[in-house]
Structure 1
Amino acid sequence: MIRESLKDWRIVTEQLIHILDEREEEKRDAIISQIEELLNKRDEFQQSIQQPFTDEEKTFGQALLSLEKILQVKLKVYMKDIRLDISDQQKKKVSVHAYMDPYAKVFRDGTFYDKKK
């Protein structure tokens, strides 16, 4: 007999994997809040999972480990996408500022400084 906490942990993990497949930027804030909520639920279930395990639970646990690896990869990819979007936004901000004030880095004293090394 498999414990309910193990079954619930698997269900939440599968929900996380499914949620991480969505890539719409408009829904990103809602997705992040769902991810946080599900990760908190998983932590609660994980605390209630204690030894000793039956043979049936051990085989069930092996399947959970493969799901966990998939989840870790998807979380890393999702975080990388967020980091890339943040860096893109920062680059756009700098380029827009440079476009709005193109003479901000021009030296006004009439001298020329070669910045090439």
Structure 2
Amino acid sequence: MIRESLKVWRTKTELLVRLLDVREEEKRDKVIEQVDKLIMEREGLQNSIQAPYTDEEMEFGKELLPLEEELRSKLSVYMKDIRIAISDQQKKKVSVHAYMDPYSNVYRDGTFYDKKK
């Protein structure tokens, strides 16, 4: 017989995998919030999933391994997308600032640089 906590773990993992397929930027905050909640709930289940395991639970665990790998890869891709979005926003901020004040990086120390050779 498989423990209920293992079944709940699998259900939450499957929810996480499906949730990480949502890629729209408008929904990103909600997705991150739900992912965080599900991960915290999974962490709470870890205490009830301790050895000794039955043969049935060992087989169930072997079925969970590919699902866990899929979850890890999707989480890393999602985090990479977030990092890219943050860097794009920072670049946009710098370019907007440079557009608004194009002479902010000009040296004004009174020296003259002759560009002719």
**Which band: TM-score by shorter chain?**
over 0.9
Give the superposed CA RMSD: 1.4
* d(CA) in 2 for partners of 1:70, 1:112: 59
* Alignment match, 2:51: 51
Aligned partner of 2:89 in structure 1 is 89
**Deviations, residues 62-111 of structure 1 (Å, cap 9, x unaligned):** 11111111100000000000000000000000000001111111122142
Aligned equivalents of 2:54, 2:99: Cα separation in 1 = 66
**C-alpha distance in 2 between matches for 1:103 and 1:26:** 35
Q: TM-score, normalised by structure 2?
A: 0.93
Q: CA 1:57–1:100 in 2, change beyond 3 Å: closer, same or farther?
A: same
The aligned residue for residue 111 of structure 1 is 112
Offset of residue 46 of structure 1: 1.5
Equivalent residue pairs, number: 114
What is the CA–CA distance in structure 2 between the aligned matches of 1:70 and 1:113, rounded to whole Å? 60
Shift in alpha-carbon separation, 1:51–1:113, aligned structure 2, 3 A: farther
Length-normalised TM-score, structure 1: 0.93
TM-superposed deviation, 1:6: 0.3
Shift, 1:42, TM fit: 0.5
Letter in 2 for 1:34: Q
SS in 1 for 2:26: coil
Cross-structure match for 2:24? 24
Distance 2:38 2:48 in 1: 16
Unaligned 5+ runs, structure 2:
none
Residue 40 of structure 2 aligns to which amino acid in structure 1? N
Instruction: Show structure 1 runs of 4+ deviating over 2 A.
Output: 110-114
Percentage identity across aligned positions? Answer: 61
